[in-house]
Structure 1
Amino acid sequence: MKTKNLLRAAVATVLSVLPLMTMAAPTHAVEAAPSMVVELPLGVAVGELPVAVEDRTGYNRDSFKHWNTGLNATDGCNTRAEVLIAEAVSAPTVGARCSLTGGSWWSYYDDTTVTSAGALDIDHMVPLAEAWDSGASEWTAARREAYANDQGAAASLVAVTARSNRQKSDQDPADWLPPSADALCQYASEWTATKLRWNLAIDEDEQHRLYFIAAGCTDTTVTYEPAP
């Protein structure tokens, strides 16, 4: 009961001090389309998310085709491997059939350096089951595949230790947060950005937890571009 009261107090505090929503000014070039990138304070961004009751009826992980051939269909690497290559702190050697040797990665969920690609999972920032609950059940198969392999935003897919990814499973921030305290603001920002990018809803408990985090992350912004 005490925790719920604290959450409600934090929500009330955030709502009372939220600044006006700001949008990154588009840059213009001759005959160039305006930028669609949006940047908002974390608390404001949370307020932009629709609130709805989650419904997992009919969910099947196979409804989200992954991993596909990634951004380059001719390099022999699937999406998982391409994310590992892109996020490496020190680059691995890419061998035949996109086998990866060497390299190192930093798993920000648990502040851990990893030196074996096999010890990493590629986490969907918003898990597939959570996406289904939040609106993806209404999508076409092609859009679900695009979501499951989204390399258009750095926050969508993240290389983390297999241990932390499996602890997270399909839980939202109301039920699981990264064990590293330093990861909290980044995680809330990237979760919110991913839901905004794909126009996914949040439930009430999730909203309360995100507002609670935002109250302690006043300098954190959310940057996203709506998915095509």
Structure 2
Amino acid sequence: MNSLTLKSRGFAGERIIEIPNETVDKCLSLPLINNLFITRMGFYPKARHHYYQRPVGISQVNFLYCTDGQGWIHLPQGWIIVHAGDVVLIATGIPHSYGSDNENPWIIHWLHCCGNGCDDAVDAIMGDRSGTPKVVNVGFSEERITVFDQIFDTFLRGHSQSNLLYANLAFPFFLASFILPGNFQKDISWGKTGNLTDKAISFMQDNLSTPVTLDNIAQSVHLICTFRQTYS
């Protein structure tokens, strides 16, 4: 590919928010959010020729969530191929570059976050912050994207203290969807081939305030006869 075609932004349908430096300072002054807050975020649909390089890394965590297509990330210890449903967090100070696949360009939701707790978010989702080349596959969740859009739209309405608090207090909830993705995509995790015991447990958890019989549980997994024969 001709290097002149590579670009870091300027994709049809993209959405980008950049938090001004004075607003970053304001976030640092707010005890509820100063440990972890967003400084930039965006959405790139079918980002053909997307490319970015940071030879010495940055002072913020870089978060990339691919929802379609694929791309790649280069870290000091190797390369990663990123597919739909993969998330990658790159810790502060880690040199990196990344780009979209030429034939099947990715769709990504991305953000940068700051604060003393930002590298802890890398540990929580990726398992470590060393820059080991790996991805975490969490699948797709409409609820997760809805939370992302709510945060983004809140920033669009301005940088008042209330908006900053709302958006950045919602941010840990968004991150939680990558730590326990099953809670955000139950239809996927309990699919047709799902474990019957897990389905039964899920049904009971969803009905804690309601009396539940063995027949109710058996019907929830469509195995009335089998359930009775095995557990009665």
TM above 0.5, one fold? no
Query: TM-score normalized by structure 1?
Result: 0.24
Q: Which has the larger radius of gyration?
A: 2
Query: TM-score normalized by structure 2?
Result: 0.24
